[in-house]
Structure 1
Amino acid sequence: MLLLGAVPADPAVAATASPAGDLHPGGQHAQGRGTVVSAERIYTLPTVEEVSASLEEHGFGNDQVRYGVEGYRLVYRTVDTDGRPTTASGLLILPLHRSGALTPVTYGHGSELLRTDAPSTDPHGFDATAALGYAASGFATLAPDYLGMGKGPGTHPYLHVRSAADVTLDMLRAADGYLPTEGRTLRSKVFATGFSQGGGVALGLGRNLREDDGTRFRLGAMAAVSGAYDLRRVQIPAMLEGEVAAKPATVSSAYALASFNRLHDVYDDPGEVFREPYAPKIDELTDGTHSYQELAEATPETLQELLTPHGEGLLREPNEAMSRALVETDNACTGWRPQAPTRLYFAGGDEQAANANTPFCARAFARQGVDVPVQDVGAEVTGPSLHFGSQIAAQPHITEWFLSASRH
């Protein structure tokens, strides 16, 4: 259940606005997955100095900045959790003055609650800034908003790995179709990374690229940071036993249970799982129109104050519907064999993602015969949050690894 992937927004750095008419229509195959519906340039940071300043606003280093960038919002066709046609949006960031075909990096962002906190609608927020760092080192970087976030319709299916991986693959297709209109092209080798909720998304994309026959893309490498890869056996017990900080556990549990219920009918009435006076508020507060701060202010400090005995029982001994939901959250590392180099990062003592999640994932891949290195970057974290700090600390390692791998 995790994760509070949002942080208070810092003031946006200066950016050059696009002309109002800078819109591009989609291609001929309007019903095809990955078809571009619209593309709009939403900012330009033309100099290394401006990019560096933007990264520093959120604590990211700038040693690997080599290019100015421009950011685009893509809206494109994809499918929902039931395979029905829908649309999604995402942030595409391109390095300026970089000649030749560009190597794509996909970045799966951490959990967001307010739909406009997604990368393409909050392009100077924490996760969009992480994506900026990869682009400034020379990659074409794609940060999908996920279903129900950004400009996409509906409600976000929180922690649903497959759908987030699907929209990431479809954004790759969309970018591949769109870039020639800007005189650019994408290489076929893809590097996938992600933080928090997005760690599982990066691994899910790796699975998609291994199994999908309808794309020219192939996986070059994967790097996942501080994910909650096993809710049922690792993350939920850690929250119930106090290993995860109480307030993040409470807020993310409210979000997850409401989201799971929308997909799987986990309960008939909110009062079955949430105590009064919280029960009537949870569904509305998790519909994408409210912030994490609003949800935090409307919920108590501990899970025991939030959940009824039945609600806590769903976490300890899931019923059939809850089990179906957990199967969909806990499949990023299990049941498949990565066919590209993979690395996992975490920060020891993380207050939101239980540390046991990462070795669990490594062991799952080991059972498939794949040795996945695990790196604790906790000693490199300088900010107050080990969770968010783990992305900041891991990113230079990941960037250098991707740069090296892209040369081969």
Structure 2
Amino acid sequence: MTKQNWRLLLFFLLSVSLSLGCKKKQPVEADPPDTTESNLVSASVSGSYSSTQLKLLAQLGGYADAIPLVKYDVNFIKILYKTTYKGNEITASGSLVIPKNMTAVPSVISAQHGTTFLAAAAPSNVPAVAAFTGYELLSAAGFVTVIPDFIGYGVSKNVVHPYYDMQHSALAVTDMLKAVTAYLKREKIAFNERLFMIGYSEGGYVTMAAQKSIEANPIAGLSLRAVAAGAGGYDITSMLSTIISNGTYSDPAYLALILNSYNVTYGWNRPLTDFFKEPYAGRIPALLDGTKDAGTVSAQLSANPTVLLNPAFYANMRDANEEKVLKAAFVSNSFLNFVPVTATRLYHGTADETVFYQSSQVTFDKFKAGGATKVELIPVPGGTHESTVLPMMLSALPWFQSLDK
């Protein structure tokens, strides 16, 4: 049977199971929100996975090594909550995964997914196969697991995702955690105040943004214990400089995503031809419409920055006196002066071709120089951007469990 057929079969089996589960238990809708007390808008039961189904999903999703982690059946809850986008209140969404029939009271993991170009991949889109992040398995291992869609996905897909924007990244996580705690308390679902955080790729960056926010302004009812961040672009200036200086970059979709995002998020409203040559500039709006994956987007661009980028923009990015507003935005969204106080591990594959290993090495060195005493750099030898996420999960989970006491 082909991989595509396996996916179709899996989708059918899970869809049937989840639909049956939903018939047994009607969605639980939140009362009209009292914004003075809670930012929870609604919570609805998406369905349930048995441990057997989760193991099958792990096998077919490339997470076979994580199958031994699966111990519990889980319930999926779609959470809608209020957050802030460009100064205005909006509704965002995410997936809450709760282990069933545990004897112990579970702690909480906030898990941040990697860069996605597909609207269908928002974690709250269960049971769509594309929505599977792998972090759902952490719930089956015994943690209440919170997986934000991020602003610009799920119910907020009508706005442009603020990619690698520190403030919006943090808000998507912290506001969902506030809504989740309100929901769990309202439904009298027991949970432990211990909070752990994990994320990879963009999720590594978002995790660090949320960590910085929580360390400065703790969330009532939660106590941050440990953070695992993998392969994030924590120093955006350095990362973009390396990409532009190199002769090739195998994932040009990410350049289109970040430049378009900053252009919209900060209201610059510059024509895309300021950044990109034609025909690439004209293609980008349709490429970023949420229906195409990263590989499809990259295939319609050029891996050579001198071919892809407007020559003036390319030259200005290499000139310290030009593109000052854009470069200032890169600096303000980088973790140049942050010194974490929570136990933190930085994971990164040494052969990462998308977010270069030096991103974590330089960030780790800055943390240590700034006086951080609870940080570790965990290199994954030979790990690529795609292959390193599972080793990170398999290492981080027992570390979290050792601190979950």
TM-score by length of 2: 0.87
Q: 1:56: which partner in 2?
A: 59
Partner residue of 2:30? 26
Preserved contact between residue 29 and residue 44 of structure 2 (Cα < 8 Å): no
Structure 1 window deviating more from structure 2 (159-168 vs 260-269): it is: 260-269
Deviations 1:18-65 (A, max 9, x none): 436833333454435852222222231123x22222112222221222
Q: CA deviation at 1:306?
A: 1.2
Structure-2 residue corresponding to 1:353: 355
User: Matched residues in 1 for 2:297 and 2:36: separation?
Assistant: 37
TM-aligned CA deviation for residue 143 of structure 1: 0.8
Q: Superposed, which structure 2 residues align to 1:323-342 within 5 Å?
A: 323-331=327-335, 334-342=336-344
State the SS of the aligned residue for 1:246. Answer: coil
SS in 1 for 2:120: helix
Say if 1:264 and 1:291 are closer, same or farther in 2 by CA, change over 3 A.
same
SS at match of 1:23: coil
Q: For the Cα contact (< 8 Å) 1:225–1:346, is it kept in 2?
A: yes
1:217-366 aligned within 5 A:
217-233=222-238, 235-242=239-246, 246-248=249-251, 250-265=252-267, 268-288=270-290, 290-317=292-319, 319-331=323-335, 334-366=336-368
Q: CA 1:309–1:208 in 2, change beyond 3 Å: closer, same or farther?
A: same
Shift of 1:267: 6.5
Q: Which moved more, 1:67-76 or 1:137-146?
A: 67-76
State the percentage of identical aligned residues: 24
The residue aligned with 1:101 is 105
Q: 1:155, 1:288 → 2: CA distance?
A: 10
CA shift, 1:396, in A, is: 0.9
C-alpha RMSD of the superposition: 2.5
Structure 2: distance between partners of 1:284 and 1:122: 25
> What SS does structure 2 have at the residue aligned with 1:252?
helix
Q: Which amino acid aligns with 1:387?
A: H
Q: Kindly tell me: are residues 175 and 200 of structure 1, through their superposed partners in 2, closer, same or farther at Cα, counting changes over 3 Å?
A: same
The offset of 1:365, in angstroms, is: 1.3
**Match for 2:87: what amino acid?**
G
Q: Counterpart of 2:95?
A: 91
Shift of the 277–122 alpha-carbon distance from structure 1 to 2, 3 Å rule, reads farther
Counting matched residue pairs gives: 387
Are residues 123 and 307 of structure 1, via their aligned partners in 2, closer, same or farther at CA, if it must alter by over 3 Å?
Answer: farther
Give the superposition deviation at 1:298: 2.7
- Residue aligning to 2:202: 197
Instruction: Give the aligned partner of residue 79 of structure 2.
Output: 74
The one-letter code matched in structure 2 to 1:253 is: L
Out of 130-139 and 294-303, give the one that drifted further: 294-303
2:173 is aligned to: 168
Q: Give yes or no for contact 2:92–2:150 (8 Å, CA) kept in 1.
A: yes
Q: Contact conserved, 1:109 with 1:127, CA < 8 A, in 2?
A: no
Question: Please, which runs of 5 or more residues in structure 1 have no aligned partner?
Answer: 1-8
Q: Tell me the SS of whatever aligns to 2:328.
A: helix
Q: Deviations for 1:107-144, whole angstroms, at most 9, x for unmatched residues?
A: 11111122221211255657733211211110011110
What is the aligned partner in structure 2 of residue 5 from structure 1?
none
User: If the length of structure 1 is used for normalisation, what is the TM-score?
Assistant: 0.87
What residue number does 2:394 align with? Answer: 396
SS of the residue corresponding to residue 233 of structure 2 reads coil
Secondary structure at the counterpart of residue 70 of structure 2:
coil
Question: Could you tell me how far apart the structure 1 residues matched to 2:398 and 2:183 are?
Answer: 27
Q: 8 Å contact 1:210–1:218 — kept in the other structure? A: no
Deviation at 1:221, TM superposition (A): 0.4
Letter in 1 for 2:71: R
Q: Matched residue of 1:335: which SS? A: coil
Q: Shift of residue 197 of structure 1? A: 0.6
